[in-house]
Structure 1
Amino acid sequence: MAIIKLSRVERRRISAFFTCLVLAVVAWIFVTMSNNYTFPVKVALNYKNQPLRKAFYALQADTVTALVSGTGWQKLFANITSTQNRRITVDLKKLETQNFIVLSNQLPFINQKSDRSKQIISFNPDTVYFDFTARKVKRVPVKLQYQISYQNQYARSDDISLKPDFVTVSGPAAYVDSVSSWKTDSLIVKKANANISAKLNLFLPKENNVSIYPKTIAVTIPVDEFTEKTLEIPIKLINNKSYSKVTLFPKKVKVTFTVSLNNYSEVNTDFFEAVADLDDWQKNGLVILPVKLKQQPDYCKIVSIQPNNVNFIVRK
């Protein structure tokens, strides 16, 4: 194979040629992408000034195609950006007297809120029709979504506080009637060893005709170091309907549990209720009665119950 040997001058000329070629291509791309074009973009509709006395349903999807005037760069990035990140706000004030909104009538307001170099020319469809139903308001409890892990010997030491713990939902009666609670965003904490305080957003409604108030809540979760404690709890006999006297042996059980250092001195036998069910003998034929804890603080974790079962003597 022949090997072409180039002189130093020739190598310089070839290098200069390719450098100029690359610069020319870059300049051409820059000029081309800087020109103005019209191109379609999918946009999601947000609504404001919703009717107060009636709920509404859009009779088509909450997205429309907008014909946009912009540069080639904007056209390129428009194809990359998600529809959820391209939103326009539509005023629904005229729904008080009609059941449709003409989007092109609001173009000056919409374009005023948009980038001046990327203006909307028209919409398809241009008219959005609505159906109406009775509107209802309801208060429902907030449901906290959380994932919390704790350092060794640490745990939640008391009830979780949500402020406010109710949210007001407003929307179509059929939808509102189906709502029993409202979720928060997820609270994620790892290796917690101190009280947790946070502000969380509530999930936003997917439907444009549903609104919630408030949209954020304050969360407080008390966290403390835990240790073990043992108490002797009296056993209460239940479901004794036929006998004048039933004697249990023993009459108390030792309950060992973990409790926070702050609550250690406060937690006493009044916080617990241990029961033995006589139906376990009368109906199920057991010769010893299992001991069950019917009441305990939810922030105390039971380690052991001694004994687990008790003997009994029945007298008519």
Structure 2
Amino acid sequence: MAIIKLSATERRRLSAFFTCLVLAVGAWVFTVLSNSYNYTVKEVLNFRNTPQKRAFHSLQSDTVNATVSGNGWQMLFSKVNRDVNVVSVDLRSLEYKSYVVLSSQLEQINTKKEIGQQITAFNPDTLYFDFSNRKVKRIPIQLNTDIRYKQQFAQANNIMLNPAYVIVNGPASVIDSIKSWPSDTLKLDSVGEPVSTRLNLQAVKEGNLSVFPKNVQVSIPVDEFTEKVLEIPVKLINNHNYDDVKIFPQKVKVTFTISLSRYAQTDEDFFEATADLDLWRKKGYKVLPVIISKQPAYSKIVKIEPQNIDFIVKK
């Protein structure tokens, strides 16, 4: 392959040529991007001054295409900028009509936009709404949790929510179908002590609904658990004919877990063990399984000894 050899003068001329070319291209790009252009960006609608006496439902998407007047640099950056563009729309006029014209609010919308990035038009320009009767309802909060406890620790009592209810305001047709309002998921790991935290409720997805409050105080009692053993008398149930029935043994040994704070006060009165005589009469059982029908809240049965009892029915 032939190698072109250039003299020092030719190399200087070639270098000067490319330098001028780069400067010329740069000047051209700068000039082009400094010109004014109309370009389209997506804007998310944020409703304010919503009607107090009319429940509404938007009949179109919550985003619109906005035509923006700006220079080439702003147009370029709008293509790579991932920030959410928000347009605040005043719905005060819905008190007496069923649509809002965005172009009629351009002046107040543009007061919140940067100079040189003024919106000139919207597509669609008119937003239409459907209306129904407004209803207010008090509904319970549904707490979502994903909690992992340290070994031998667990929830020791009922979770307390403050408040336990939210007030939902919106169309009657929608409100009637809502039975509870979910919270965000409370995620905790290696929990070994009581939890007290504030948790956000899930955001409203419909523009015609409102929920108050937006968050809730969550208190979770947590304690260390240990095993305890008690002898519990067995109660015979479904002895419809009042037969003379003897059971053996009359007590069973129940091993269960209980929180340390309730260990001393927990005795056999907190439990009820039963054996169902219908299992013999209707199904022919030779022994009766023992069922723990009552136990302390948040305790856990580990084992029952024996699990089945013998019985004799005297004629």
Task: Report the TM-score when normalising by structure 1.
Answer: 0.86
What CA distance in whole angstroms lies between the structure 1 residues aligned with 2:177 and 2:257? 40
Give the direction of change, closer, same or farther, for the CA distance of 1:128–1:307 in structure 2 (3 Å limit): same
Deviates more, 1:297-306 or 1:126-135: 297-306
Q: Report the alpha carbon displacement of residue 208 of structure 1 after superposing the two structures with TM.
A: 0.5
Aligned amino acid, residue 301 of structure 1: K
Q: Report the alpha carbon displacement of residue 315 of structure 1 after superposing the two structures with TM.
A: 4.1
The corresponding residue for 2:206 is 207
Matched, 1:187 2:219: no
SS in 1 for 2:261: coil
The corresponding residue for 2:264 is 265
Matched, 1:225 2:224: yes
- Does the 8 Å contact 1:243/1:315 carry over to 2? no
The corresponding residue for 1:151 is 150
The corresponding residue for 1:293 is 292
Aligned pairs (5 A) from 1:89-238:
89-238=88-237
Give the count of matched residue pairs: 315
Deviates more, 1:241-250 or 1:39-48: 241-250
Aligned amino acid, residue 67 of structure 2: L
Q: Report the alpha carbon displacement of residue 17 of structure 1 after superposing the two structures with TM.
A: 6.9
Deviates more, 1:262-271 or 1:145-154: 262-271
- Does the 8 Å contact 1:140/1:169 carry over to 2? yes
The corresponding residue for 1:61 is 61
What CA distance in whole angstroms lies between the structure 2 residues aligned with 1:259 and 1:26? 77
SS in 2 for 1:283: helix
- Does the 8 Å contact 1:70/1:117 carry over to 2? yes
Deviates more, 1:178-187 or 1:245-254: 245-254
Q: Report the alpha carbon displacement of residue 67 of structure 1 after superposing the two structures with TM.
A: 1.1
Aligned amino acid, residue 100 of structure 1: Y
Q: Report the alpha carbon displacement of residue 22 of structure 1 after superposing the two structures with TM.
A: 6.0
Name the % identity: 54
Aligned amino acid, residue 198 of structure 1: T
Give the direction of change, closer, same or farther, for the CA distance of 1:82–1:212 in structure 2 (3 Å limit): farther
Deviates more, 1:5-14 or 1:190-199: 5-14
Aligned pairs (5 A) from 1:16-55:
29=29, 32-33=32-33, 35-55=35-55
- For structure 1, the 5+ residue unaligned runs are none
Aligned amino acid, residue 68 of structure 2: V
Q: Report the alpha carbon displacement of residue 23 of structure 1 after superposing the two structures with TM.
A: 6.8
Give the direction of change, closer, same or farther, for the CA distance of 1:127–1:281 in structure 2 (3 Å limit): same
Give the direction of change, closer, same or farther, for the CA distance of 1:127–1:276 in structure 2 (3 Å limit): same
Query: Which of 1 and 2 has greater Rg?
Result: 2
What CA distance in whole angstroms lies between the structure 2 residues aligned with 1:56 and 1:303? 55
